[in-house]
Amino acid sequence: MKLRKVTAASAAVLALAVAATACGSDDKDDSGSSSGNGGGKKITIGIKFDQPGIGQKTPDGYEGFDVDVATYVAKELGYSEDQIQWKEAKSADRETMLQRGDVDFIAASYSINDERAAKVDFAGPYLLAHQDVLVRADDKDIKAPADLNSKKLCSVTGSTSAQNVKDKLAPKAQLQQYPTYSACLTGLQSGAIDALTTDDSILAGYASQSNFKGKFKLGGFKMTNENYGIGVKKGSDLKAKINTALEKMVSDKSWDKAVEANFGPAGYKNEPAPQIGNVVK
């Protein structure tokens, strides 16, 4: 008889626990995120994990200009920092990630062009970068793109930046392909190469690292226009909301502070904040 009483009591406790769990489930979204700001959900944002000054994963978290922009935008959308889930967005994967819904938006040195805009929508642009070169701080020979003729010009394997320079500006440049930008920088520092080329914002980010500070300088050649936009899924209503957030970031000077914090040590002479929807060709 006592056994039956204990069993009944246990069943009652179990029933109460199940009921409490069921009631609590109303406070979670489909992914199990707890309620709070942003409607109780998480927001997933794609960034680069390996570009200092732009988007970088560090032992202490995530940092860079794109991270600062994305964090500001997320806050304006109603999400606190602890509700952001960062996801690595490699260049070749960005359109697919958006189309599959792996991320809500992507801020990853994502240049707007017609081919990409046919697959995804872009908010912004939020930064106008240019293809440039990085040379040693004491270099006095490379003052214009034509001076790269007969010089050893480095870019990462698979990049078209160095080839663009050779095809259009310096046909006698000696192209050197290294596996990473960090390897190019090491070669530049040792004298194995004479210049490194890619977007000036990326170059500034690398040159701003403490171990390279003061050792390199940007050429300031502005060889192409690279309009960085925030990618969203085609037809998403986030585009308009993100544009509103970007406009506010510029008006309250948070944009200027982010530029200075991430690129300032390299002496990066950035363009003024671009107007939303104005893609410079």
Q: Would you place residue 161 in the very low, low, confident or very high pLDDT band (cuts 50, 70, 90)?
A: confident
Domain ranges of the chain: 37-129+227-266, 131-218
Using one digit for the tens of pLDDT, what is the confidence trace for 195-239?
Answer: 999 999 999 998 888 888 889 999 999 999 999 999 999 999 999
Per-residue pLDDT of 57-102, as tens digits, reads: 999 999 999 999 999 999 999 999 999 999 999 998 999 999 999 9
Identity of residue 7: T
Looking at residues 124-145, what average pLDDT do you find?
A: 96
The confidence score (pLDDT) of residue 126 equals: 98
Q: How far is Cα 83 from Cα 77, in angstroms, rounded to an integer?
A: 11
Indicate if the pLDDT at residue 121 is higher than 80: yes
pLDDT of residue 269: 85
pLDDT digits (tens, 9 = 90+) for 237-250: 999 999 999 999 99
pLDDT at 246: 98
The predicted structure's pLDDT at residue 180: 86
CATH class, domain 37-129+227-266, is alpha beta
Q: Are 37-129+227-266 and 131-218 in the same CATH fold?
A: yes
Residue 40 — pLDDT band, cuts 50, 70, 90?
A: low
DSSP bridge partners of 85: 44
Helix axes 254-263, 65-76, angle to 10 degrees: 160
Q: How far is it, in rounded angstroms, from Cα 281 to Cα 278? A: 9
By percentage, how much of the chain surpasses pLDDT 90?
74
Cα 44 versus chain centre, distance:
13
> Is domain 131-218 classified as CATH 3.40.190.10?
yes
Instruction: Give the lowest-confidence range in 19-28, 164-173, 207-216.
Output: 19-28
Q: For residue 38, what pLDDT is reported?
A: 54
Predicted pLDDT at 227:
96
**What token pair was written down for 240?**
């308009």
Distance, in Å, from the CA atom of 237 to the CA atom of 156, rounded to the nearest integer, reads 36
**pLDDT band, residue 33 (cuts 50/70/90):** very low
pLDDT over threshold 80, residue 30: no
pLDDT at 25 over 50: no
Q: Please answer whether residues 48 and 56 qualify as being in contact, where contact means their C-beta atoms are separated by less than 8 angstroms.
A: yes
Neighbours of 280 (CB within 10 A): 13
Return the top range by mean pLDDT from 17-31, 116-130, 153-167, 197-211: 116-130
pLDDT of residue 12: 43
Q: Is the pLDDT of residue 34 over 60?
A: no
The whole-angstrom separation of Cα 230 and Cα 243 is 9
**Is the pLDDT confidence value at 14 over 50?**
no
Average pLDDT over every residue of 5-10? 43
